[in-house]
Amino acid sequence: MKNYVILKQWIPMVILPILIGGLIYVGYRTDTLIMFDWFDSLGLGAVIQEFRIYINGLNVRPPNWFIYSLPDGLWVYAFTSAILLIWNGRLSWWIIIPLITGVFVEIAQAFHLFKGTFDYVDLLLSISAFFSSILILKTKNYEKKLC
């Protein structure tokens, strides 16, 4: 029963956001990203290409924030949720790691310390995702269900 409760929490709070963010990257980002070389090395290049053809065939172009900023926010959300779930919903100093990482990378891009382009939307979504994860997990009282 405890495994079911854990899966019931981890799937929507951690696994699904990472999966959605990954699908956005695979479907809409440029195929010059290094991950596409990794897919080729794993023999997944053809499958990935078929998925990209399918997505493009839908003739739906999401807004730029969806393609370029939402995956970052989903990553911060999943990372924050994972830490909260591991610590049974208790806030500890570990919880700041996803926030600091998301914000630091974005600010480092502004100073050209990391590859990429600084974007206020990325920053806003990362901060919002961090606090959303805490709010959702604390509101649902997950810590009581894991103990």
Give me the phi and psi of 96, to 5 degrees please: -80, -15
What does the DSSP 8-state code read for residue 100? H
Angle ∠(14,17,23) on CA atoms, nearest 5: 135
Encode pLDDT of 111-141 as tens digits.
Answer: 999 888 899 999 999 999 999 999 998 887 6
Alpha-carbon torsion, ordered 13, 91, 73, 108, to 10 deg: -150
The pLDDT assigned to 147 comes to 43
Encode pLDDT of 35-79 as tens digits.
Answer: 999 999 999 999 999 999 999 999 889 999 999 999 999 999 999
Spatial distance between the Cα atoms of 147 and 30, rounded to a whole number of angstroms: 44
The pLDDT assigned to 142 comes to 55
Angstrom CA distances, 97 to 10, 84, 88, stand at 19, 12, 17
Give me the phi and psi of 99, to 5 degrees please: -65, -50
Is residue 144 scored above 80 in pLDDT?
no
Spatial distance between the Cα atoms of 6 and 147, rounded to a whole number of angstroms: 11
The arithmetic mean of pLDDT across residues 27-31, rounded, is 94
Encode pLDDT of 79-96 as tens digits.
Answer: 999 999 998 888 888 999
Total structural domains within the chain: 1
The pLDDT assigned to 139 comes to 84
Range of the domain at 103: 2-146
- Residues 6 or more apart in contact with residue 40 via CB below 8 angstroms: none
